[in-house]
Amino acid sequence: MHSRRTVLTTAAGAVAACAAGAGPAVAAPVTGRRPAPDAAARDRLRRLIARMTPEEKVGQLFVMRVYGESATDPAPADVAANQKEIGVANAAELIAKYHVGGIIYFGWAHNTREPHQIAELSNGIQKAAAAQRVPVPVLISTDQEHGIVARVGAPATLFPGAMALGAGGSREDARTAGRIAGQELAAMGIRQDYAPDADVNVNPANPVIGVRSFGADPQAVARMVGGQVRGYQDGGVAACAKHFPGHGDTDTDSHVGLPYIHHTAEEWERLDAPPFKAAIAAGIDSIMTAHIVVPAFDASEDPATLSRPILTGLLRERLGYDGVVVTDSLGMEGVRKKYGDARVPVLALKAGVDQLLNPPDLSVAHGAVLTALRDGELSEHDLDAKLLRILLLKERRGLFDDPYTSRGEVDRVVGTRGHLAAADRIADRTTTLLRNDAGVLPLSRRRERRVLVVGVDPAAPSGTGGPPTTVLARALDELGFTATAQSTGMSPTSAQIDAAVAALGERDAVVVATYNVTAGSPQRKLVEALLATGKPVVQLAVRNPYDIAQLGVVKAALASYSWTDVELRAAARVIAGRRDPVGRLPVVIMRADVPDQALYQIGHGLSY
């Protein structure tokens, strides 16, 4: 697509957003940076591996989902789900039957209701692992990127996501956010976070990355990735840069299809490689693969997860990475389209993978790897090398010393006043003012005291303050306005648009929250109808910042890069004039009418 190529070229040469100052100091980390395992530790782990049966060794390669809030006594519905999908009743039985080396937490699997429950689940899992014939602690992981991807909700501290941090431009803020997040995850027994996202989002049409990326400038993204890796690992968890070799220039979602990246080797080196190099230089514990095809590096057109030229040739040999390589979820269609579920895990291991994440059918996957080992397709020598990398990671994260946590540790660390204040201070450096014609912003409590908040209400992480329009209205209320929320949804109907216009008639101004507006989106009609009233209209993009390209007549436009509470509160402070908008655009926004021309370049952002 020609417009995408223009974005790619423009972003590659753009100047990164200016740093926005140092982040606040935080308490000492829960686990902290640990020295690399010495020769004695390596020998001890090799002896541990030598005691394992083939079934136990294979089990250690898998990171699996499991339903329930408890390791031994989940709710009946979760027992039924586990029996249907895995053939066990609970996490303890999963460990006893398959000897899995890792478990991943999801909200939809009912693993992450609240911090004390999470800690108790983690302790139950580690207790089950300690009861095995060969006791090996479990590496518990989750996707806590913050922003739009957060499996653990409030009262844990929630930070701005990657693109918001990219708009703030402060590597120290990224490191601080990672350090606090790492401390809190470790206090709940989670010792691996599948973050940060190291993709460079040069394609505005990217349906799966977008604001999960720090931006479109490879060098700026690399600085933020390096800072966040150090933060997470200083905080006590293994960071995981994803999705290698780079998922930022695709218009296909690998959850439902198989994307192709058509970068040349030279383009990859310039655009995709810098963040992964920065992660490796920062000492990252793990790197996640992408279910994408990159013909420049593998003519077979196997997805990168199954590609030896990419994972061994490019990642291990060319970039010199010797840590753990974990697949993206093996339940995603991008990795299942070409081969069956029995071949995928074997091919991934042969390509250079160490950990196999969340296969759709663990029995099939475990059996296939065991058969490949017994038949000689996989060598025991290579398998032992993979196990050693995994066990060394667990050693670095302190799991062999003490895998447990406590309610007291949760109370001491998770969601503290200091951590929440740090999140608000960081968020105050992220909101970006894209347009402010005729000085619409900031709103005045004298002229525009009565404010209507309308727009989309996408689902927010658990434990947050409610729908985004409600959170934004409440925040404006607390700042001295009289604000009313009225959701109009992703695709407002004519009746909803008419109701919003009628509600505005009794008020002085309106804030409209938009979400990935397209040329044919009914959200455009909503904004146009509100503008026709002559009242001040403030448009706030609560996901990708590209909405303004489709809303050219808007006079005041902001980007918050997410709809989570911390970012909406920060946006409210900017709207009310309590904070100056200092965020700077980390991506290029192209014009909708002339797609080859930039509307706003990287680094754009207005101030009051």
Give the closest residue to 550 by CA, choosing from 510, 581, 518: 518
Residue 497 reports pLDDT greater than 60:
yes
Q: In what order do the strands lie in the sheet with 482-487?
A: 432-436, 556-559, 537-541, 509-514, 450-455, 482-487
Domain boundary among 387, 413, 439: 413
| Same domain (yes/no): 448, 356 | no
| Same domain (yes/no): 152, 264 | yes
Q: Which of 78, 302, 328, 457 is catalytic?
A: 328
CA distance 174 to 170: 6
Asked whether residue 605 is assigned to any structural domain, the reply reads no
| Same domain (yes/no): 64, 122 | yes
Give the DSSP H or E segment for 570: helix 565-575
| Same domain (yes/no): 224, 346 | yes
| Same domain (yes/no): 405, 474 | no
Asked whether residue 209 is assigned to any structural domain, the reply reads yes
Active site residue 217: no
Residue 450 reports pLDDT greater than 50:
yes
Active site residue 272: no
Check which CATH number belongs to the domain holding 526 and give it: 3.40.50.1700
Domain boundary among 346, 381, 413: 413
Q: Give me the pLDDT at residue 458, please.
A: 83
For residue 414, what are the contacts with CB-CB under 8 A and spacing of at least 6?
Answer: 115, 155, 156, 157, 184, 187, 188
Percent of the chain with pLDDT over 90: 84
| Same domain (yes/no): 402, 445 | no
Asked whether residue 561 is assigned to any structural domain, the reply reads yes
Check which CATH number belongs to the domain holding 196 and give it: 3.20.20.300
Asked whether residue 425 is assigned to any structural domain, the reply reads no
Strand 598-600 versus strand 589-590 pairing type = antiparallel
The pLDDT tens digits for 386-430 are 999 999 999 999 999 999 999 999 999 999 999 999 999 999 999
Asked whether residue 21 is assigned to any structural domain, the reply reads no
Asked whether residue 20 is assigned to any structural domain, the reply reads no
| Same domain (yes/no): 454, 485 | yes
| Same domain (yes/no): 240, 385 | yes
The pLDDT tens digits for 280-313 are 999 999 999 999 999 999 999 899 999 999 999 9
Q: Looking at the DSSP assignment, which residues form a beta bridge with residue 244? A: 289
| Same domain (yes/no): 409, 434 | no
Q: How many domains does the chain have?
A: 2
Q: Contact at 8 Å (CB) between 176 and 26? A: yes
For 98-127, give the DSSP string.
Answer: H--SEEEE-TTTT--SSHHHHHHHHHHHHH
Q: Which of 251, 255, 341, 424 is catalytic?
A: 255
Q: What interhelical angle do 115-130 and 91-98 show, nearest 10?
A: 30
Give the closest residue to 223 by CA, choosing from 146, 160, 277: 277
Give the DSSP H or E segment for 367: helix 362-375
The pLDDT tens digits for 11-66 are 444 433 333 333 333 333 334 455 677 889 999 999 999 999 999 999 999 999 99
| Same domain (yes/no): 354, 254 | yes
| Same domain (yes/no): 402, 462 | no
**Per DSSP, which regions of 464-543 are E strands?**
482-487, 509-514, 537-541
Give the predicted TM-score (pTM) of the model.
Answer: 0.92
Asked whether residue 24 is assigned to any structural domain, the reply reads no
Domain boundary among 413, 445, 465: 413
Asked whether residue 420 is assigned to any structural domain, the reply reads no
Residue 1 reports pLDDT greater than 60:
no
| Same domain (yes/no): 529, 574 | yes
| 15: number of Cβ within 10 Å | 12
> The tokens 């790492």 sit on which residue?
182
Q: What interhelical angle do 417-427 and 171-187 show, nearest 10?
A: 150
CA distance 71 to 127: 9
Cα angle: 126, vertex 132, 137; to 5 degrees: 35
For residue 454, give Cα distances in angstroms to 119, 329, 435, 543. Answer: 38, 36, 19, 15
Which residues form the domain of 302? 2-15+40-413
